[in-house]
């Protein structure tokens, strides 16, 4: 497996912030079961080499800082979210009741095949809200597509599918879709109104830009309307 994301500058800054020398760092890591020569800390901070997952976890503990700070990135992928919570792949697989090889395949292939229960447990283990969960497991594309079809056409026929996808009651999903369908309709009414009135191109482009921005945020708006506590049902 490749090395995790790592920021040499952040690691050095974290060490200096609490006044530790490289010797102090390797000593603290040794107490956590990771035994390394002191030169390794310097190599990490210079960017010459990167720590393994186990070394990254131990380094974060030794420096009293969150793992994401040392990663230097905002977690986006399944692996990055796992690392941010200091789970090894084996421990997370055990936590959610999934075969470790199946879990490793999901990370490597960026394709989630877990059951509803495993998905629910994954969200709990990694503390993911539903919008982020969908992005992590690859369901965001399906959500975006269904929502676009719902607001542009007959929204009622998409209620059941969307309720299953986001794990929310059909009643709340229906209310959200009704609201979104009306909002989308108002964009079209404004655009057609200005088109008939032969408004200048600048005004038409302004409305089109507003609608494009609204569509870009459609999934987040929908999840807000149905409630942030929505989770896939086990």
pLDDT of amino acid 145: 83
Q: Where is the domain boundary, 26, 50, 71? A: 71
What is the distance between the alpha carbons of residues 125 and 188, in angstroms, rounded to a whole number?
42
Reduce the DSSP state of residue 125 to 3 states and report it. helix
- How far from 65 is each of 9, 38, 70, 127, 173, CA to CA, in Å? 14, 20, 8, 18, 40
Give the CA distances from residue 100 to residues 40, 89, 116, 117, 229, in Å, rounded to whole numbers and listed in that order: 30, 7, 17, 16, 28
Q: What pLDDT is recorded for position 218? A: 86
What is the domain range of residue 16?
8-71
pLDDT at 199: 56
| Domain co-membership, 172 together with 214 | yes
88 found inside a domain: yes
Q: pLDDT averaged over consecutive 10-residue blocks of the chain (234 residues)?
A: 89 96 97 96 95 97 96 91 95 95 90 83 88 73 83 90 83 93 82 59 75 83 74 42
Whether the pTM exceeds 0.85: the reply is no
Q: In the listed set 128, 155, 170, which residue is the last one of a domain according to the structure? A: 128
How large is the angle between the packed helices 170-196 and 159-166, nearest 10 degrees? 120
Q: How is residue 198 written in tokens?
A: 């032969």
Task: Provide the domain count of the chain.
Answer: 3
Asked whether residue 3 is domain-assigned, the answer is no
Identify whether 103 is part of a domain: yes
Q: Is the same domain home to 148 and 214?
A: yes
What is d(CA 150, CA 158) in angstroms, rounded to the nearest whole number?
A: 6
Q: What is the pLDDT of residue 139?
A: 63
The pLDDT score that the predictor gives to residue 193 is: 62
- Say if 1 falls within a structural domain: no
Quick one: DSSP state of residue 2? P
Residue 130 to residues 3, 118, 191: CA-CA distances in angstroms?
28, 14, 33
């Amino acid at each position: 497996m490749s090395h995790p994301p790592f920021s040499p500058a952040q690691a050095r800054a974290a060490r200096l912030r609490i006044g530790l020398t490289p010797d102090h760092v390797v000593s603290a890591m040794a107490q956590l079961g990771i035994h390394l020569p002191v030169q390794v800390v310097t190599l990490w901070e210079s960017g010459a080499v990167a720590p393994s997952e186990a070394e990254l976890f131990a380094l974060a503990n030794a420096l009293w800082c969150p793992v994401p700070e040392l990663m230097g990135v905002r977690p986006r992928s399944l692996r990055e979210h796992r690392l941010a919570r200091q789970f090894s792949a084996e421990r997370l697989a055990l936590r959610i009741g999934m075969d470790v090889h199946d879990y490793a395949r999901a990370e490597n292939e960026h394709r989630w095949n877990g059951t509803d229960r495993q998905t629910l447990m994954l969200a709990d283990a990694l503390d993911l809200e539903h919008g982020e969960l969908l992005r992590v497991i690859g369901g965001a594309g399906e959500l975006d597509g269904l929502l676009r079809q719902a607001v542009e056409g007959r929204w009622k026929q998409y209620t059941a599918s969307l309720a299953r996808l986001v794990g929310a009651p059909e009643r709340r999903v229906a209310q959200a879709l009704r609201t979104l369908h009306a909002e989308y309709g108002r964009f079209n009414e404004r655009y057609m109104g200005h088109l008939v009135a032969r408004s200048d191109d600048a005004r038409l482009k302004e409305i089109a830009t507003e609608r494009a921005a609204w569509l870009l945020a459609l999934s987040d708006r929908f999840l807000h309307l149905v409630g942030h506590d929505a989770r896939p049902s086990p």
